[in-house]
């Protein structure tokens, strides 16, 4: 399945879709080769993240091996069809689930935002850099749970998403899911790249993950997906070089008056400044309501 329209319809119906082997085996091997040294020095997780799981946060800031999956045209086309134009990265993270890791608690990614469960504002992608199997911790999902009201499904409803290395799982931000338990003797590696609507604050501070000189070296579309800093840098690069960009200074304005704290009220009908108590910001701390403040409360 490589048609964005078909993938969008499956996402809307089932909450997830798999594109098998979208990455070549050469690209998979290159990504593993660059991520393995970073994972070797990464710390073990805890709690929700898993005590036998390692993570490399913001990998796009330290390696170019993930540019291809991050910019996959069919993925970006699907993202735009589901959540609209102007998407930016949410979380980007390489996740390695090691032997002995228990199944992760079920959750849905949009739960980080205080929004109703009646709309998609996020699309999640999980790229398999190992074969994902039911035994090595393949992500478990509850198909169709994106259409349910709030309420965590039972773990017995989950099914593992098994897919060969190079494949990508797309799923709605409302879909309940969780990493499976790894009962094998080998770790499994996947890369999460989330896309969120542009008005949302991403979980990751992409604007702090890389400097502006580093951002300028990235493909323009990748700069735009990094959010405000990347998008501004991408647009600026089309007009000026770093040396030609004009320096703007603020025009002189009127002198700034210092802000003074209001004088305390005198406990009678008026403040020390002569303002009636029913208009005074301190009226709640007066010694009992006056007739004027009581009238204001009645209103």
Task: For the chain, give the percent of residues with pLDDT over 90.
Answer: 64
DSSP code of 265? B
Check whether residue 269 and residue 218 sit in a common domain: no
Q: How far is CA 39 from CA 13, 26, 60, 193, 289, in A?
A: 36, 20, 14, 17, 65
- Give yes or no: residues 21 and 119 share one domain: yes
Cα gap 279→192, rounded to integer Å? 54
* Most confident listed range (109-113, 202-206, 274-278): 109-113
Are 70 and 211 members of one domain? no
Which tops the pLDDT comparison, 15 or 229?
Answer: 15
Considering the chain, what is the average pLDDT of its residues? 82
> pLDDT-derived band of residue 217, with 50, 70 and 90 as boundaries?
confident
**Both 169 and 227 in a single domain?**
no
Dist CA 26 CA 218 (whole Å): 21
Q: How many domains does the chain have?
A: 3
Asked if residue 173 lies in contact with residue 122, where contact means CB atoms within 8 angstroms, the answer is yes
**Nearest by Cα to 225 from 68, 8, 70:** 70
Same domain flag for 105 and 215: no
What is the rounded end-to-end Cα distance, in angstroms, of the chain? Answer: 63
- Give the CA distances from residue 26 to residues 21, 38, 65, 143, in Å, rounded to whole numbers and listed in that order: 11, 19, 11, 32
Q: How far apart are alpha carbons 226 and 268 in whole angstroms?
A: 57
The residue with greater pLDDT, 289 or 2, is: 2
Give 135-167 pLDDT, tens digit per residue.
999 999 999 999 998 788 999 999 999 999 999
Tokens of residue 4, six digits: 């964005």
Residue 62's alpha-carbon distances to 27, 37, 171, 218, 298, in angstroms, are 17, 12, 26, 12, 62
Residue 267 has pLDDT above 70, yes or no: no
Domain of 275 in residue numbering reads as 265-299
Q: What's the confidence (pLDDT) of residue 255?
A: 56
Q: How far is CA 276 from the centre of its chain?
A: 49
Same domain, yes or no: 198 and 212: no
Q: How confident is the model at residue 1 (pLDDT cuts 50, 70, 90)?
A: low
Residue 260 covered by a domain: no
pLDDT of residue 226: 85
What contacts 24+ positions apart, CB below 8 Å, involve 220-225? 221/71, 221/76, 222/60, 222/67, 222/70, 222/71, 224/88, 225/70, 225/71, 225/87, 225/88, 225/89, 225/195
Asked if residue 18 belongs to a domain, the reply is yes
Measured CA to CA, the distance from residue 199 to residue 235 in angstroms comes to: 19
pLDDT at 254: 55
In a domain, 280, yes or no: yes
Same domain, 22 and 156: yes
Q: What percent of the chain has pLDDT over 70?
A: 75
> What is the residue-wise DSSP string for 210-229?
S-HHHHHTS-HHHHHHT-HH
User: What would the pLDDT profile of 239-261 be if each residue is shown by its tens digit?
Assistant: 333 434 444 444 555 554 544 44
Q: Give residue-wise pLDDT tens across range 44-98.
A: 999 999 999 999 999 988 899 999 999 999 999 999 999 999 999 999 999 999 9
pLDDT class of 202 with cuts at 50, 70, 90: confident
pTM (predicted TM-score): 0.76
Q: How many CB atoms lie within 10 A of CB 216?
A: 17
- In CATH, what number is assigned to the domain containing residue 143? 2.60.120.620
Higher confidence at residue 276 or residue 70?
70
């Amino acid at each position: 399945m490589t048609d964005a329209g078909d993938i969008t319809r499956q996402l809307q119906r089932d909450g997830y879709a798999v594109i098998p082997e979208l990455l070549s085996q050469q690209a998979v091997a290159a990504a593993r080769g660059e991520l393995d040294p970073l994972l070797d020095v990464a710390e073990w997780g805890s709690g929700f993240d898993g005590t036998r799981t390692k993570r490399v946060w913001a990998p796009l800031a330290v390696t170019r091996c993930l540019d291809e999956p991050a910019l996959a045209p069919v993925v970006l086309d699907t993202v735009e069809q589901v959540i609209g134009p102007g998407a930016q990265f949410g979380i980007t993270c390489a996740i390695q689930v090691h032997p002995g890791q228990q199944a992760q608690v079920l959750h849905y990614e949009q739960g980080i935002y205080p929004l109703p469960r009646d709309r998609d504002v996020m699309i999640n992608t999980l790229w398999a850099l190992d074969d994902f199997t039911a035994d090595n911790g393949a992500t478990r999902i509850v198909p169709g749970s994106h259409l349910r009201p709030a309420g965590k499904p039972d773990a017995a409803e989950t099914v593992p998403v098994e897919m060969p290395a190079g494949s990508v799982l797309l799923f709605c931000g409302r879909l309940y899911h969780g990493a499976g338990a790894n009962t094998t003797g080998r770790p499994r590696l996947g890369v999460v790249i989330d896309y969120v609507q542009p008005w949302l604050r991403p979980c990751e501070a992409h604007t702090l993950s890389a400097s502006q000189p580093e951002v300028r070296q990235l493909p323009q579309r990748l700069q735009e997906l990094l959010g405000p800093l990347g998008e501004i840098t991408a647009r600026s690069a089309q007009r000026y070089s770093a040396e030609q960009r004009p320096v703007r200074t603020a025009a002189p304005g009127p002198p700034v008056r210092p802000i003074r704290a209001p004088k305390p009220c005198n406990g009678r009908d008026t403040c020390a400044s002569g303002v009636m108590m029913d208009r005074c910001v301190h009226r709640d701390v007066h010694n009992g309501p006056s007739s004027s403040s009581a009238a204001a409360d009645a209103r």
